[in-house]
A and B are shown apart, each in its own frame.
Chain A
Amino acid sequence: MRKKDKKQLIKIIISAVALISVALTEHLDLIPKLIYLNGFDLQSLLLYMIPYLIVGGAVLMRAARGILRGQMFDENFLMSIATIGAFAISEYSEAVFVMLFYSVGELFEHVAVNKSRGSIKALLSIRADTAFIENDDGELVEIPCEQIRIGDVICVKPGGKIALDGEIIEGSSSVNTVALTGESLPRDVKEGDTVLSGCVNMQDFIKIRVTKLFGDSTVSKILQLVESSVENKSKSENFITKFARFYTPAVVGAAVLLAVLPPLIIGADSLAVWQNWVGRAMTFLVISCPCALVISVPLSYFGGIGSASSKGILVKGSSYLDALAKCDTVVFDKTGTLTEGNFTVTNIKTKGIDRAKLLSLASSAEKYSTHPISLAIITAANAEICATGHEATEIKEVSGRGVKALVDEKLLLVGNAELMRENNISLPSDILAERGVTVYVAHGGEYLGAITVSDRPKQKATSALAKLRKLGVKRTVMLTGDRAAEAKLTASELGIDEYHAELLPADKVTAIETLLQKSKNGANVAFVGDGINDAPVLARADVGIAMGALGSDAAIEAADVVLMNDDLDRIGDAILLAKKTRRIVIQNIVFALGVKAGVLALGALGLVGLNVAVFADVGVAVIAILNSMRALK
């Protein structure tokens, strides 16, 4: 609690005690009435003024200063008028109670807002503001990161945060990206590796040559993005701001009419009737501040965005959070998004030879090649630890076909069906029609087997897609440059509803546009890609989601929602969070407006007094704030 708030709390307690004492003495006639003014009980008024001024003095002061600045509709002013009005119609204890309750509510609001500001800050406290550098005497000195230039060398102790992006020049260690990606995943790093700011150094002392200024470093970029997300306000937020501008003057206007018109119409001639209507008008004034909405709606969104970023999901504004909540179509780029993005051996068929031997033979011929397919075969061979290392000589590449070589003085062929046909190798018929690229192996004129190399779907892809469906995504679409047969296979394997194959980059934009046209009833289309090759598509979709964007400025720039790692599950997490946030916002709007409208109506009818009205004002605000703090979790 801040000092200011503590002081206010003390005032509230003193005032409450004073109010109770005054009310008791008045009720039980403990003090004889001594002060009268023309028969008017001035003593009561003076006694009640004590607790009123203790807690409300500051409000009155602020109201007076507000009037001088021409701020008629500020809440201090309205609260002052309402309570002074209550005094005027001799409702002393009520006037004090309203002021007291209002102050309690205000205090609570301040504390709650500060608390959630604090928790958002804590969520985002991934940046180190200082770094250690070695001075001329070899001692470590801590200096502010702003002073560090590109090319400087910073030292990071075990357990310390890496403050700026750079390259390791000395030492090796393991770093954890948990603060950036929301997922604890230690990664081994050594000399020459690039490390990102925001990572925690887990093991050993390392020295890093800085490659980016503090302001341009990954962690600063992320923080900037989250902070500036408040600029992209959602429709609900803009609605509340606009609503607030008209709400207060309208309610105050209604209060004036309520105080004056009905008594005039019924031709009231007694003071009591006038007092009654003025009393009703006062309840209006107390409810006329739209605080509950003005605080709680942005707070909910900001909580949602803060909570998302702690999971490695960066949302560039509450408008995108809303858009995510309303997605019913999710479009995926295939390579690198749904699939691993690199080739691996996915199937091996052999004929009269064991797996390891086949791989060993194939890799011996491929050993000088840098083609992704060859690399996949070599990796697989190394993984199986082939004991029978074959030595290939006279390796020759046959362009577009494969490789020829000599092993044990016999011709080894590793390549596609075309290569086999040219060399009169007959292939079994059951190995076609499979995903990926099939490489055949023949040795000494005899077919030995086939190795299939393909880009595998990510392990979590199927479950992630099922999760999306559970969250109300009606249609999943895959866009790819691959052959139709291949696309079909992946789509059916993952349970994707629709696929578009053989697309050039420009065709992907057209495909998204068609999908956008087809989407109905304000439902949104999200596109998920890696953010590097598909920036135009990301920009075109209602929500562009870039995956695995850690360290890629281009992807962070292009997307509306940035997933720091390439975990497909995060898309569902993001939608879930967006829906939760939106639900909280709607609850708050409906609850606050409902209670206010209800109390306004009852107040106009004279059924409720000031105590209920002040609850409808600050009580509702506090409840709405507490509700919106749920978005943080």
Chain B
Amino acid sequence: MKKTFTLDEVDCANCAAKMEVAINKIEGVSSATVSFMTQKLTIEADERDFDKILKAAQKAIRKIEPDCRIVID
């Protein structure tokens, strides 16, 4: 299943591209995109793994841009 999240404070386009690469490497993610323009993260993965993947994604994002976080609503 596919879910979209808003990213708060993505400041650099290159970082967005790096985040995309990093999140795609997380186990269980079948595809992920980070859009610098819309400030959106889309992850396609198995429903059961989502919580785990989201945590890993947040960690990966922090590593690239410490002030950036995934908004979960």
| Residues of chain A having any CB pair with chain B under 8 Å | 65, 69-71, 74-75, 110, 113, 116-117, 120, 227-228, 230-231, 233, 241, 244-245, 289-291, 294-295, 298-299, 302
**Known interface pairs A69-B63, A117-B37. Does A228 touch B42 (Cβ–Cβ under 8 Å)?**
yes
Q: Which residues of A contact B17 (CB under 8 A)?
A: 241, 244-245, 294
CB <8 Å contact, B14 and A65: no
In the docked arrangement, what's the CA distance between A535 and B12, Å? 40
In the docked arrangement, what's the CA distance between A302 and B66, Å? 26
**Known interface pairs A69-B66, A71-B63, A245-B21. Does A298 touch B35 (Cβ–Cβ under 8 Å)?**
yes
Q: Which residues of B contact A299 (CB under 8 A)?
A: 37
Residue of A71, A230, A295, A298 near B64 (CB, 8 A) is A71
**Known interface pairs A69-B66, A241-B20. Does A294 touch B37 (Cβ–Cβ under 8 Å)?**
no
CB <8 Å contact, B37 and A291: no
In the docked arrangement, what's the CA distance between A294 and B20, Å? 13
CB <8 Å contact, A291 and B14: yes
B40 lies within 8 A of chain A by Cβ: yes
Query: In chain A, what residue has the closest Cβ to B21?
Result: A245
Per the CB 8 Å criterion, the residue count for chain B at the interface is: 23
Q: What would 13 more interface pairs be, CB under 8 Å, given A227-B4, A228-B4? A: A113-B37, A117-B37, A228-B42, A230-B35, A230-B37, A231-B35, A245-B18, A245-B21, A291-B12, A294-B13, A294-B14, A295-B36, A302-B38
Can you name 23 A-B residue pairings with CB atoms under 8 Å? Answer: A69-B62, A71-B63, A71-B64, A74-B15, A75-B12, A75-B14, A113-B37, A116-B37, A117-B39, A227-B4, A227-B38, A230-B38, A231-B33, A231-B42, A244-B14, A289-B14, A290-B14, A291-B12, A294-B16, A294-B17, A295-B13, A298-B37, A299-B37
Map CB proximity to A onto B24-41 as digits: 1 under 8 Å, 0 otherwise: 000000000101111110
B11 lies within 8 A of chain A by Cβ: yes
Q: Which residues of A contact B21 (CB under 8 A)?
A: 241, 245
Number of cross-chain contacts by CB at 8 Å: 63
In the docked arrangement, what's the CA distance between A613 and B20, Å? 28
Q: Which residues of A contact B18 (CB under 8 A)?
A: 245
**Known interface pairs A244-B14, A245-B21. Does A298 touch B36 (Cβ–Cβ under 8 Å)?**
yes
In the docked arrangement, what's the CA distance between A294 and B37, Å? 11
In the docked arrangement, what's the CA distance between A244 and B40, Å? 20
Query: In chain B, what residue has the closest Cβ to A68?
Result: B66
Q: Which residues of A contact B11 (CB under 8 A)?
A: 110
**Known interface pairs A65-B66, A69-B66. Does A230 touch B14 (Cβ–Cβ under 8 Å)?**
no
In the docked arrangement, what's the CA distance between A116 and B4, Å? 22
| Residues of chain B having any CB pair with chain A under 8 Å | 4, 11-18, 20-21, 33, 35-40, 42, 62-64, 66
Q: Which residues of A contact B20 (CB under 8 A)?
A: 241
Closest chain-B Cβ to A295's Cβ sits at a distance in Å of 4
Q: Which residues of A contact B13 (CB under 8 A)?
A: 113, 291, 294-295, 298
In the docked arrangement, what's the CA distance between A299 and B35, Å? 10
Query: In chain B, what residue has the closest Cβ to A295?
Result: B13
In the docked arrangement, what's the CA distance between A70 and B20, Å? 17
Query: In chain B, what residue has the closest Cβ to A227?
Result: B38
Closest chain-A Cβ to B34's Cβ sits at a distance in Å of 9
Q: Which residues of B contact A230 (CB under 8 A)?
A: 33, 35, 37-38, 40
Closest chain-A Cβ to B14's Cβ sits at a distance in Å of 5
Among B15, B17, B35, the most chain A Cβ lie within 10 Å of the Cβ of: B17
Closest chain-B Cβ to A310's Cβ sits at a distance in Å of 16
Closest chain-B Cβ to A335's Cβ sits at a distance in Å of 36
In the docked arrangement, what's the CA distance between A231 and B64, Å? 21
Query: In chain B, what residue has the closest Cβ to A297?
Result: B13
Query: In chain A, what residue has the closest Cβ to B62?
Result: A69
Closest chain-A Cβ to B58's Cβ sits at a distance in Å of 14
Query: In chain B, what residue has the closest Cβ to A70?
Result: B63
Q: Which residues of B contact A113 (CB under 8 A)?
A: 13, 36-37
Query: In chain B, what residue has the closest Cβ to A306?
Result: B37
Closest chain-B Cβ to A210's Cβ sits at a distance in Å of 23
In the docked arrangement, what's the CA distance between A228 and B44, Å? 13
Closest chain-B Cβ to A79's Cβ sits at a distance in Å of 12
Q: Which residues of B contact A294 (CB under 8 A)?
A: 13-14, 16-17, 36
CB <8 Å contact, B38 and A233: no
Query: In chain B, what residue has the closest Cβ to A65?
Result: B66
CB <8 Å contact, A302 and B37: yes
In the docked arrangement, what's the CA distance between A230 and B62, Å? 23
In the docked arrangement, what's the CA distance between A241 and B18, Å? 8
Closest chain-B Cβ to A550's Cβ sits at a distance in Å of 24
Query: In chain A, what residue has the closest Cβ to B20?
Result: A241
Q: Which residues of B contact A290 (CB under 8 A)?
A: 14
In the docked arrangement, what's the CA distance between A110 and B36, Å? 12
Closest chain-A Cβ to B17's Cβ sits at a distance in Å of 5
In the docked arrangement, what's the CA distance between A290 and B63, Å? 20
Residue of A69, A233, A245 near B33 (CB, 8 A) is A233
Q: Which residues of B contact A74 (CB under 8 A)?
A: 15, 64
